[in-house]
Structures are given as structure tokens and as C-alpha cells.
Amino acid sequence: MKLYSNEIVFRGHPDKVCDQISDALLDEYLKGDKNSRCGIETCGGKGKIFITGEVTSKSKVNVEEVVKKVLEDVGYDTSYEIINNLGIQSSDIAMGTNLKVKGAGDQGMMYGFATNETDKYLPLSMIILQELSKEYDLLRKRDSRFKSDGKAQITGYFTDDLRLMKIKTFTISYQNTELDRINTDNIIKEICTNICNKYNIEIEEFLINPTGRFKIGGFAGDAGLTGRKILVDNYESFSKVGGGAFSGKDPSKVDRSAVYKARLVAVDYLKKYNLEWCEVQISYAIGKRSPLSISIDSNIGNIEPNKKLYKECEPYNIIKDLNLLNECYYERSKFGHFTN
């Protein structure tokens, strides 16, 4: 066995709030115009929220209203100054992604991952942290002692092929009023223990708010930026990450859509070949339809992809097959983009 760690951030973490703002805006643009081209970036901190990036859309979106709805939903103050600095998409990019050319909206490599460790084909410790994040979001809505910001990390005893055996240290940093720490800490411990008991996973020790205090959080305590939590959004360190963030990007941008497709391919090959794990890489050139390469790695070695897969992985085929123009990206951005 070896020690290994993975983490998640809660919905109220400043970076995650920025992800949710970018995706909530994307959803609104796509509602009114399925051909919207969006690359929306959000930066928040110290009383200001700055929205920038590129949007070409027929939709009329009240940016300030959307931002304030997200802030309210995550439990933040809504009195921030909101600066709208959105521009239009570069015509150079549009040349390669229009309906005639149907090329990839960006270049790069994208990864998908699946494991047979759980029935969701995700690593067990990843599922545990996602469940904690969801439980914490419900907790802070019903108990005012718990505030929005926070993150959690599992350091566990894993087999050489990264199967969780036992948790050595469960680390949770959560924002709170600091008025009743003994009881609020115990509530956090109980939630974690109940989740782990479902999977017969023992916890040796907890580290809760290791600095001793976490009262100041959110944009008051830290700045946030869209796309700064790409490991959390992907597979929490269990798989390679191509480097592209998801939030705020319409699905013509393959660093979002092709990652969703790569996950499905990984699950499909895992089942087809009865694999323990499968990792898929798909690469693209901006403006070109067909992937440059598809590589499928697994516990039994490299697997040659089906030739039809190249056609399936063309950006517009991904968008159509996965119905990505009708996706709620705001929901995906809350707890990690792969939860099942």
C-alpha cells in the first residue's frame, strides 16, 4: 500500500463561484441562441466581480442579474460591484468553427478516465469527497453557523493501482461563525463518517480547520478565478489533465466537449474489455474536424481505437450526440463535472 491524496473544493470556494458564474452566463446565452460562441471568464475579490472574455450571440442577457442569482445561491453577499467587460469572439476563430467548416474551437489534448472501483466508474475517494461537498452545501443552507467557503482532502492508504483501502487523514477546512466550533466540528465529522461507513472505509484521523480558525472566507478572504480548479473538475489527480478549463466555454470548444466525450469512451471501453481502468486521450487542431489522434490506455496496455471513433469525436458530432446545446452547465460546475 501507499499514501495518496485527492481533494475537492466546496461550491462556495471563490474559484468555484467564478466557475459557476461563467457557466450560468453561458447557459443564458445558449438558451436564446444555440449558435452562441462563448469564452466567459470571471474574477472576483474585494468587493468587485469582473466579467471578461468573448461572446458572440443573438441572446440578450442581463449579466448583472445572472451574477447576483449565483451569488445568492452559493450564500454570498450580492452587493458586489459587477464589471462587464465582455467582447465578441475573434473572427479568426469563427472561421474554423462556423456551421460550414464545423472544426474544433481550440487545439490541445483532452483526457477521459474510468475505473471499475465503483459502479459509477469513478474512484471511490473521489465519490466520497463529492458526497461530502453536496452534503455540506445542504448543511450551510439549513444551519447559519456554517458558511459557504471550504475544501476537503483525503489522504488514504491505496493499493498500487490506486484503490482506496483506508483513510489515514481526512482534512476539512470549512468557513464558519467560530461561535460553536466543538459542535460544528463534530457535525462535519459525523457527515464524513456516515458517508465512509456506506463504503466500509475507516477514517484514522481528522484534521479540521488546521490553522485553528476559518471565519473570513469567500471573496473577502481570497480572490477567485474561472478555471483554476481543473483537477477538481476532472478526476481529482487520478487521471492526466489536458490543461483546458471547462466553465464559460460553449461546446464548440473541444477542451470542454471532447473531455465529456472522452469520459464516455473510457467507460465504454472499460465495459467492453472488462478493464480495471481506462484512460483516453483525444487531440485536436483548431479549425479541423477530425481528431489528430485518439489513444486508449488501460491496465492491459494500449487498445487500438475503433476507426468509427474518429468520426464520433468530430466536434459537431459530439455536440449532437451528447445534446450539449441543451446541457445545464451551471449544474455541472457545482461539484465537479463528472459525478456519475
Q: How many Cβ atoms from other residues are within 10 Å of residue 137's Cβ?
A: 20
Given 19, 117, 236, 255, the catalytic residue: 255
Bridge pairing between strands 37-45 and 293-298: unpaired
Bridge pairing between strands 203-208 and 164-176: parallel
CB 250 within 8 A of CB 93: no
Given 68, 147, 253, 337, the catalytic residue: 253
Given 33, 50, 54, 166, the catalytic residue: 54
Active site (annotated) includes residue 147:
no
Given 10, 11, 15, 335, the catalytic residue: 15
Given 168, 223, 240, 312, the catalytic residue: 223
Given 37, 229, 289, 334, the catalytic residue: 229
Given 147, 163, 249, 289, the catalytic residue: 249
Distance CA 299, CA 22 (A): 37
Given 10, 11, 13, 279, the catalytic residue: 13
Active site (annotated) includes residue 68:
no
Given 68, 140, 228, 261, the catalytic residue: 228
Distance CA 10, CA 174 (A): 9
Active site (annotated) includes residue 2:
no
Distances (CA, A) of 306 to 268, 303, 317: 12, 9, 16
Active site (annotated) includes residue 65:
no
Active site (annotated) includes residue 240:
no
Given 41, 236, 250, 314, the catalytic residue: 41
Given 214, 219, 238, 338, the catalytic residue: 214
Given 185, 222, 276, 312, the catalytic residue: 222
Cell of 24: 450560468
Active site (annotated) includes residue 92:
no
Active site (annotated) includes residue 48:
no
Active site (annotated) includes residue 223:
yes
Active site (annotated) includes residue 10:
no
Active site (annotated) includes residue 151:
yes
Q: How many CA atoms lie within 13 A of 129 on its CB side?
A: 35
Active site (annotated) includes residue 331:
no
Active site (annotated) includes residue 214:
yes
Active site (annotated) includes residue 334:
no
Given 151, 256, 289, 334, the catalytic residue: 151
Active site (annotated) includes residue 69:
no
Query: Which residues are part of the catalytic machinery?
Result: 13, 15-16, 41, 54, 151, 214, 222-223, 228-229, 249, 253, 255
